[in-house]
Amino acid sequence: MRLFSTLLIAYDSGALDGSNGPYGPVGPGGPPGQDNLATTFVDQGSIDGLILGICDGNFIYNVTTSGIIESDNYPASYNPQTSCTNQFYSTDDGITFEFQSFFTEQNFDFIVFRDSVGNDFGGQSCSGFLDGTRISVDRSRLPISIYFKSDYIEQTSGFSIVVRAGYDSSNEIANGPCGSQNFVDYNYYYK
């Protein structure tokens, strides 16, 4: 297995010491609660044809055709206090994520997508019911990390997401329901 480390450009919050930034209290590594997003990954090879758990480890996968990533225990309730990150790359023109099933506690249990230059997308906008959502990331933003975080209050069935090679501009990440970059991690206040 090869070990990968991803360079992440710091989120410019104006403060990295727990004081208030433009979206509330912040800590090292970006918006509140984002400091647990993994930056080192173990190469697991191809995801193609596999069904994998997002909380199986901090892994990086190559996408040449398609595979599936699921929340822990799917379709049963995911675990409380979850903080899991996986990363995906492809030699294709990008990667598309298709949410076959997606149900998390609205605003509190969510996914954040982080592109190769450190832009974060999602948070509260990437929570609740999102069945059928498609998100596409072009090659210039790869590798892309997916960070799943849950609090301790309510757990639901979670998600099953097809990860497919190929970019679809009509589902560009910045324009979809998980495209928000202005989010606050409500979990920060409920720890």
Domain ranges in the chain are 44-190
Q: Is it the case that residue 34 has pLDDT exceeding 80?
A: no
Q: Is it the case that residue 73 has pLDDT exceeding 70?
A: yes
Strands 40-46 and 59-62: parallel
Average pLDDT over every residue of 146-173? 96
Per the model's pLDDT, the better-predicted residue between 23 and 114 turns out to be 114
Give the confidence band of 182 by pLDDT, cuts at 50, 70, 90. low
End-to-end CA, the chain: 35
Q: Is it the case that residue 47 has pLDDT exceeding 50?
A: yes
| Entry pTM | 0.78
For position 168, what pLDDT does the model report?
97
Q: What residues form DSSP beta bridges with 134? A: 98
Contact (CB, 8 A) for 178 and 90: no
State how far the Cα of 52 lies from the Cα of 146, in Å rounded to an integer. Answer: 13
DSSP structure class, residue 25: E
What does the mean pLDDT of the chain come to? Answer: 81
- Hey, which CATH number is domain 44-190, 3.90.550.10, 2.60.120.290, 3.40.50.10800, 3.90.79.10? 2.60.120.290
Q: Rounded to the nearest 5°, which phi and psi values hold at 57?
A: 160, 175
